[in-house]
Chain A
Amino acid sequence: MHGRVKVRTSEEEKARKEKERNEKLKIFKHAMQKIQIKRKECTLDKELLELTGNVLSSNPDIYTLWNIRRDILQLFKKSNDNIEEMSQVYNAELHLTEYCLKINPKSYCAWHQREWVLLTRDDPDWQKELELCNTYLKLDERNFHTWDYRRFVVSQCKPSLKDEFDYTTEKLMDNFSNYSAWHYRSKMLVELYPDRKGGRPIEDSHHKHELKMVQNAAFTDPDDTSAWFYQRWLLGAVKTTIDLVNYTVTPTKNTFAFSKHVDKNYVSAKTKLLINNCVVNGEWVSCTGNCYDVLWIFQHSTPITKKINIKVEYEIDNGQKQIIQGVECKEMFYIGKNQIKFERNYSEAVIEELKDQLESCRQLLNLEPDSKWTMLTTTIFLHCIDAKAYHTEAIQNLQKLKVIDKLRAGYYDDLIAKWCIEKQLCSDYENADLALKFSFPSPVSSLPYLQYYSYCDSVDLSNQQLTSNIFPSLIVLQHCKKLSLENNNLTTMKNFPDLDLVELNLLGNEKLDRNEIELFTKKYNFNIIY
């Protein structure tokens, strides 16, 4: 009947599609062959440009073809002085990448080609590129390729940072589940609003504003981790310094422990050992042999005798010099301990904001006692606001979190260990005891800050949950004579560090192979209890 429509049946449709695909494949193979021949012949001409363009239009990820195109364009540039003509060639190239990005917005090579064109041509239009980023991010606000490209464009055309910062606000308001936007924001934040007066990374009012904003996101959707990551970054955005935490000088070995990993240049430039007010010259060697280390050994030829005056001059980050006086704790065993603290250095205003937010968290925790993120954030706030006063509550929370969030029990264990040891370190640094003994309510499974105890001659790590994995970290116990690892979960003696021990206690490690220990005892001449 006239005017009645007939629709293709699905079988017909299938056959038609199959045929289409075969035809496409034929065309593709033919084109690729032709391209390869021309490439071999080094015929880098317009025809090859067209051939590669055609193939890329439907297969934007063949990077070889982009490479060929760059070769051609470079050749064109060499042989063509007409700026206008070249400009057209580059425009066409940009057009092609744009076309390809429509097919695959996450095509690494298409984005890269675009970058290359803009850096190669003499007349790049950066404003246009920025608009392109806007368009693409409107279509997919989480395409990290586009964000990456945006950072590249911004680095070239240097628009107002404030505009860029506001742009991230706009994008986050649409959808805050966006790591790229938060990340970009963090970069802008420290550029735009540093705290020049207080020397902190972020100026107070902005730090507060960001904390508020991210708390809003976190409370709106606690299961979205992007906001929490930014919050943790904000909490960590405090002034930090590298400290010399202690040093030990004995006739046989001189060690210097730092709060962070530092390299040899840093150590030798910042640290001076003075014996009887004379600067000692020597050689710095890291205790693990790595370039960066937390414990450095100072080798020198000045003899260490009784009752000498030992002190260390250390230059802190801001250029100020610090004198740390050594004390002869036992005969010819000099220790210098610095003042240590682990509190983060927030401003009053930020602390007030954190207290407010802690209050909200506590309210919420009343409503949802088992909410993992609320509990964790509450705990982090407690630690940030006053680690000492809230220590017990924070540790209890972490214990609860181990139950609520079993998958991350190990992470919580590490936090517990870290915070417990921080607390104990503060009191240990106030007395002159040379023995270390952990007596926490619950055993630890990791040993952060161990370099802080490098001066101890007796280290009792018994009744913890340590495994053989901690062996490499024991290397910082350079002055330890008596080490107890009794009642732990050791499984092997492999990787046990080369320490100058007198006694090693391995009792109560059920999984340790006795044969292995016996072999181990033959290797060392100290007393091994097992």
Chain B
Amino acid sequence: MMDEDFPTDFQVIVVGTGMVESIVAAACSRIGKNVLHMDSSDHYGGLWASYNFEGLQKFIKEVNSDPDRQKQVYNLSEKWFIEKESAQGETTDENKGEPRKVWSQADFAAEYRKFNIDTTPKLLFSRGPLVELLISSNIARYAEFRCVTRVLTWLNDQLMPVPCSRADVFATEAVGIVEKRMLMKMLTSIVGYSEEEMNNEFKDWNNKTLKEYLTHKGLTPNLIHYILYAIAGGNNSLPCLEGVKECKKFLMSLGRYGNTPFLWPMYGSGELPQCFCRLCAVFGGVYCLNRPIDKVETKTVDEGKTVVTIDSKSKKLNCDHLVIGVHECPEELMSSEPAESCDISKAVFVTNGTIMASEKEPLTLLRFPPLADDDNAVTVLEVGPATGSCPKGLFVVYFITKKTKDAESDLKPYAERIFDMSGGDQTAATDKPKCLWSLFYNVKDTSSPVSSVVDNVHVCSGPDAGLDFDRAVEQAEQIFKKICPGEEFLPRAPNPEEIVFEDDVTHGPEFQREQDEEAEPKE
């Protein structure tokens, strides 16, 4: 709501509310910079957003009808496996006597608000940089998390839990006791790996693969599978040292919060950019959604200082630094097309049960090894009602891999292994959950860093295909250091009880009252 008396000069303007943009906005605002944060769409998150079912339908419609507005997304195909209207609502499974809901498309529409479906589902490593940042900046109090309860893999044509913690290795019956010792020994040796130490265990394995190393160490095929595909999340060509680092990251995050190394944000990954926006607003950042930009200009004023001017809805906004998401950025501002990279294939499924029964509602990370030779490994995340992702009785399952052909051809073979995709009677007893709805799409990989032609314009990358947010955090910090050299990156924000309100402060100019009204990024 920018009306006539809205200020036009800011120290930092951030365009786009993706993860990197939001972290930069928060960091700048936190140390006292005057920040305007805007987004061309009516919601937060950009390519990182979470949608309820109606919002998702809008997103799908937009991609199909106005490809220019969502130019990163293509090959999108949505499919229903259930009837438009349900005939009788609930039926009773005679064998078990407990009612199993027969879902219809109308039910999805009626409960649309209970869905929170991610466009960029990601996990946090319990000791990863994002968790540390959320804690050290005190932003964690704006977010809630759930522990991933299990890590599964696909082994010998079936789903298998991966023994990753000490307790898992102890409890598993899938490996013999000598294997247990070998597995624990390998994991311990990986945890002890240090790059600085020249004479480390892995020093001679520079040019070889992790698989070669594990085989050399005499590990059994099962153990190699667990470590290579499930813990490192790699494939047969994963270089040894890279794999060891991946494993170490995984292992170091064990034992902090739950039985696995991962946290999942309640209500979806799209919540996280909003947490940073909230901090930005608390420290005085101004928010404007639905505000596309038309033009970006730079001009040099006196003393050689460059000012960036943005045209937005026939208004000129000036700033010292412009931080802009790659998908909002005019092409002429980017120094070059992003480096050639592999696009991402994604799929989302809504199912009527978990892929593997468990005592309590599970939250699952499943890592598929490549099923065919030229495939990539596939990451699967299954989240249930307890995460606020869907209504009771349903699960939302995300599939992510690097694109080889198109999303549907890349991922459908994997989905068919774990879902019943035949449609039909939802109450029928099957060993696999029924797929009720599916969505396949490809996303351009916009995750490689792009530099701009102007010094004080900073382009933020889009989401990568990786499991975590680490690259986004790293990039945000780099951009912040460029804008505010020598300043602390997101120092701890005080708790309300630590704040002293001083009565004798001079009141700010008129507009800042309005800023208060807009300050909160969410309810």
Contacts and interface: CB of A to CB of B under 8 A. Distances in A.
A66 interface: no
B176 A360 contact: yes
A6 B502 contact: yes
A7 B171 contact: no
Contacts of A5: 283, 494, 499
A229 to B, nearest CB: 16
Contacts of A174: 167
Interface string B153-173: 000000000000011011100
A176 interface: yes
A220 B187 CA distance: 11
Interface stretch (B76-84, B301-309, B482-490, B504-512): B504-512
A174 B170 CA distance: 9
Interface in B169-188: 169-171, 176-178, 180-182, 184-185
A174 B501 CA distance: 47
A499 B232 CA distance: 72
Given A5-B499, A7-B499, A219 B180 contact: yes
In the complex, which of the residues B169, B180, B494, B505 has the most CB atoms of chain A within 10 Å of its own CB atom? B180
B31 to A, nearest CB: 12
A2 B505 contact: yes
A176 B170 CA distance: 8
B255 to A, nearest CB: 10
B398 to A, nearest CB: 29
B170 A216 contact: yes
A200 B491 CA distance: 65
B178 A220 contact: no
A364 interface: yes
Interface string B274-290: 00000000011000000
B505 A4 contact: yes
A384 to B, nearest CB: 18
A290 interface: no
A1 interface: yes
Interface in A163-200: 173-176
Given A7-B494, A8-B500, A220 B170 contact: yes
Contacts of B167: 173-176
B177 A360 contact: yes
In the complex, which of the residues A216, A219, A363 has the most CB atoms of chain B within 10 Å of its own CB atom? A219
A215 interface: yes
Contacts of A176: 166-167, 170
A215 B177 contact: yes
Interface residues on B, range: 20 to 34
A221 interface: yes
B144 interface: no
A42 interface: no
Contacts of A364: 178, 181
A67 to B, nearest CB: 37
Nearest to B183: A220
Interface of B (DSSP majority class): helix
Given A173-B171, A176-B170, A216-B177, A6 B500 contact: yes
A347 B498 CA distance: 68
A141 to B, nearest CB: 11
A3 B508 contact: yes
A173 B177 CA distance: 16
B218 interface: yes
B512 A3 contact: yes
B93 interface: no
A417 interface: no
Contacts of B501: 6
In the complex, which of the residues B177, B499, B500 has the most CB atoms of chain A within 10 Å of its own CB atom? B177
Contacts of A267: none
A364 B169 CA distance: 17
Contacts of A215: 177
A459 to B, nearest CB: 46
A422 B177 CA distance: 32
In the complex, which of the residues A1, A7, A220, A367 has the most CB atoms of chain B within 10 Å of its own CB atom? A220
A222 interface: yes
Given A1-B508, A2-B508, A5-B494, A219 B502 contact: no
Interface in A1-55: 1-8
Interface in B103-153: none
A3 B171 contact: no
Contacts of B178: 219, 360, 363-364, 367
B169 A3 contact: no
B516 interface: yes
B362 to A, nearest CB: 17
A221 B188 CA distance: 10
Interface string A345-374: 000000000000100100110011000000
A523 B284 CA distance: 98
In the complex, which of the residues B181, B185, B507 has the most CB atoms of chain A within 10 Å of its own CB atom? B181
A217 interface: yes
A215 B498 CA distance: 53
B170 A217 contact: yes
B177 A219 contact: yes
Contacts of A220: 166, 169-170, 180-181, 184
A2 B507 contact: yes
In the complex, which of the residues A1, A3, A175 has the most CB atoms of chain B within 10 Å of its own CB atom? A3
A221 B182 CA distance: 11
Given A3-B516, A5-B494, A221 B500 contact: no
Given A6-B499, A7-B499, A215-B177, A221 B505 contact: no
A7 to B, nearest CB: 4
A174 B255 CA distance: 11
Contact of A216 (B180, B185, B512): B180
B516 A367 contact: no
A213 to B, nearest CB: 9
A364 B498 CA distance: 58
A212 to B, nearest CB: 8
A311 to B, nearest CB: 52
Contacts of A3: 284, 508, 512, 515-516
Nearest to A374: B181
Nearest to B507: A2
Contacts of B283: 5
Contacts of B185: 368
B182 A367 contact: yes
A174 to B, nearest CB: 6
A221 B166 contact: yes
A1 B506 CA distance: 5
Nearest to A366: B178
Contacts of A219: 177-178, 180-181, 184
B279 to A, nearest CB: 12
Interface string A453-484: 00000000000000000000000000000000
Contacts of B184: 219-221
Nearest to A175: B167
B169 A1 contact: no
B284 A4 contact: yes
B512 A2 contact: yes
A521 B108 CA distance: 103
A8 B498 contact: yes
B138 to A, nearest CB: 11
B439 to A, nearest CB: 38
In the complex, which of the residues B171, B184, B516 has the most CB atoms of chain A within 10 Å of its own CB atom? B171
A312 B171 CA distance: 54
Given A3-B508, A4-B505, 10 more contacts: A1-B508, A2-B507, A3-B284, A7-B494, A7-B500, A8-B498, A220-B169, A363-B178, A364-B181, A368-B181
22 contacts: A1-B505, A1-B506, A1-B508, A3-B515, A3-B516, A4-B284, A5-B283, A7-B494, A7-B498, A7-B500, A8-B500, A173-B171, A175-B166, A175-B167, A219-B177, A220-B169, A220-B181, A222-B181, A360-B177, A360-B178, A367-B182, A368-B181
**Which 3 A-B residue pairings sit nearest by Cβ, starting from the closest?**
A219-B177, A219-B181, A7-B494
Interface of B: 166-167, 169-171, 176-178, 180-182, 184-185, 218, 283-284, 494, 498-502, 505-508, 512, 515-516
